[in-house]
């Protein structure tokens, strides 16, 4: 290994270490890690609970799609509120409320009072609350680390999530089988409380920013006009919308694990845990590399990896092969998401960032709508057909965007 290679590797390591030495980013990283793990864990456990209560993939899809019903309308408001407020206060409030919801869900489950309508209503409330947390969190990342270190910071943010995605679902599967579903909700509540405390501890001077005083309605209109006048933003938001096809996979895993693979909750946890391992490998590589050239091409390639994994999973009747597919797909997610976020945040002016990120959150609410789509297709055409069509639509639409979105291909 020559001197220049050693120097480059040392620079990558030092840059990553420097990020974690920034008190504000370190606390935000911990808080975001617990919150993102909680989001994935809640989707997993509430999907399994819905399956137990109804024995229907459609109701699993409805349960995991319900958060979008509140999140979509509230996302428009959350952006201008983020631009007009201290995002640290927004984060701490959001994470405290999520802890209360998780505890209440666990209580209803323990007392056998839980019904599918409780599960759907609480999932919808969690989605509405999260609509305020996502733009505030992403805005804080940029404010703390700046433009040059943004991709590495976002990837590092995803690394904590990926580690939790590996351990969380695997432990949750064992906990569901041995202690019951309610225990997972109580653990989830504790995780959100840790996220709440670390968000409060972020120092006020860690993320200096100019607060926007634009009136609420006018601020929303300004964000929409900016999007209309900047085509690259529109393409990025459209790519986020396409997640409706890619995310259909997640609503079908519980039924696949139980009915087709005959693997039960432990096998379900192993599949989701494998996806977390793939996340961790991918995010570690992105953090180590520090930046990705031609991010639009990376987004398209990651979409192909996810789609091919979903297609193979559709025809799998082996738990081992299904676990491998989930891990393969997991490697694509962090690259797709980190590159999209970086393309968006580095090309938007600071006074618009909260509003544009809220629009990204709004369009990305197609993820829970994808759960609903997957459940509907599975109920009417079967799980395999649902996966095949979802994967083909996901891959073809992402490739077509790459071909026609010249504005994205010209961004470094």
Pick from 75, 51, 128, 85: nearest CA to 237: 75
Provide the pLDDT for residue 209: 55
pLDDT at 339 > cutoff 80: yes
26 in any annotated domain: yes
Provide the pLDDT for residue 42: 83
Q: How far apart are CA 24 and CA 28, in angstroms?
A: 6
165 in any annotated domain: yes
Q: How far apart are CA 324 and CA 282, in angstroms?
A: 15
Provide the pLDDT for residue 326: 92
14 in any annotated domain: no
CB 269 within 8 A of CB 319: no
Instruction: Tell me the per-residue pLDDT of 46-98, one tens digit each, with 9 for 90 and over.
Output: 888 988 899 887 888 788 778 878 887 887 787 777 777 788 888 999 999 99
Instruction: Tell me the per-residue pLDDT of 366-380, one tens digit each, with 9 for 90 and over.
Output: 677 787 788 888 888
pLDDT at 12 > cutoff 60: no
Task: Count the domains in the chain.
Answer: 1
Mean pLDDT, the chain, integer? 81
11 in any annotated domain: no
**If DSSP codes are grouped into helix, strand and coil, which group holds residue 261?**
coil
Pick from 220, 196, 183: nearest CA to 94: 196
Q: How far apart are CA 230 and CA 304, in angstroms?
A: 27
Domain that holds residue 31: 19-409
Radius of gyration of the chain (CA): 20
3 in any annotated domain: no
Provide the pLDDT for residue 304: 95
4 in any annotated domain: no
Instruction: Tell me the per-residue pLDDT of 247-278, one tens digit each, with 9 for 90 and over.
Output: 888 778 888 888 888 888 788 888 888 887 88
208 in any annotated domain: yes
> Which ranges in 201-263 belong to alpha helices (H)?
216-229, 231-241, 243-246, 248-255
User: Is residue 133 left, alpha or beta, with left meaning phi > 0 and alpha meaning psi from -120 to 50?
Assistant: alpha
Residue 69 sits in a domain whose CATH number is: 1.20.1250.20
CB 95 within 8 A of CB 35: yes
**Residue 105: pLDDT band with limits 50, 70, 90:** very high
228 in any annotated domain: yes
Instruction: Tell me the per-residue pLDDT of 197-214, one tens digit each, with 9 for 90 and over.
Output: 999 988 876 555 555 566
pTM of the shown model: 0.69
């Amino acid at each position: 290994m020559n001197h220049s290679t050693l120097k480059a590797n040392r620079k990558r390591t030092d840059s990553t270490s420097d990020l974690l030495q920034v008190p504000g980013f370190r606390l935000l990283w911990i808080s975001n890690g617990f919150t993102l793990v909680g989001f994935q864990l809640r989707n997993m456990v509430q999907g399994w609970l819905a399956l137990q209560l109804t024995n229907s993939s459609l109701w699993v899809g409805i349960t995991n799609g319900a958060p979008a019903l509140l999140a979509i309308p509230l996302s428009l408001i959350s952006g201008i509120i983020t631009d007009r407020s201290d995002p640290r206060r927004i984060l701490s409030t959001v994470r405290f409320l999520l802890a209360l919801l998780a505890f209440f869900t666990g209580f209803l489950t323990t007392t056998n009072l839980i019904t599918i309508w409780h599960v759907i209503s609480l999932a919808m409330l969690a989605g509405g609350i999260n609509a305020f947390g996502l733009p505030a969190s992403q805005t804080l990342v940029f404010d703390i680390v700046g433009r040059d270190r943004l991709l590495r910071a976002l990837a590092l943010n995803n690394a904590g999530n990926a580690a939790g995605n590996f351990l969380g679902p695997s432990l949750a599967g064992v906990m569901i089988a041995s202690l019951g579903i309610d225990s997972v909700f109580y653990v989830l509540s504790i995780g959100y409380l840790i996220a709440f405390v670390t968000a409060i501890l972020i120092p006020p001077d860690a993320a200096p920013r100019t607060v926007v005083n634009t009136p609420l309605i006018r601020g929303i209109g300004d964000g929409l006009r900016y999007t209309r006048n900047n085509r690259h933003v529109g393409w990025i938001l459209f790519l986020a919308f396409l997640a409706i096809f890619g995310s259909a996979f997640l609503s079908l895993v519980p039924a696949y694990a139980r009915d087709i693979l005959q693997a039960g909750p432990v096998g379900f946890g192993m599949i989701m845990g494998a996806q977390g391992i793939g996340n961790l490998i991918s995010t570690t590589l992105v953090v180590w590399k520090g930046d990705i050239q031609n991010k639009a091409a990376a987004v398209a390639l990651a979409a192909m990896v996810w789609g091919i994994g979903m297609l193979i999973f559709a025809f799998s009747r082996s738990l081992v092969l299904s676990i491998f597919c989930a891990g393969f797909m997991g490697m694509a997610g962090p690259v797709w998401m980190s590159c999209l976020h970086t393309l968006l945040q580095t090309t938007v002016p600071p006074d618009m960032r909260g509003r544009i990120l809220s629009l990204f959150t709004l369009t990305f609410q197609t993820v829970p709508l994808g759960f609903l789509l997957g459940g509907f297709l599975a109920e009417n055409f079967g799980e395999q057909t649902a996966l095949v069509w979802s994967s083909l639509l996901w891959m073809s639409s992402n490739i077509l965007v790459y071909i026609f979105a010249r504005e994205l291909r010209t961004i470094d």
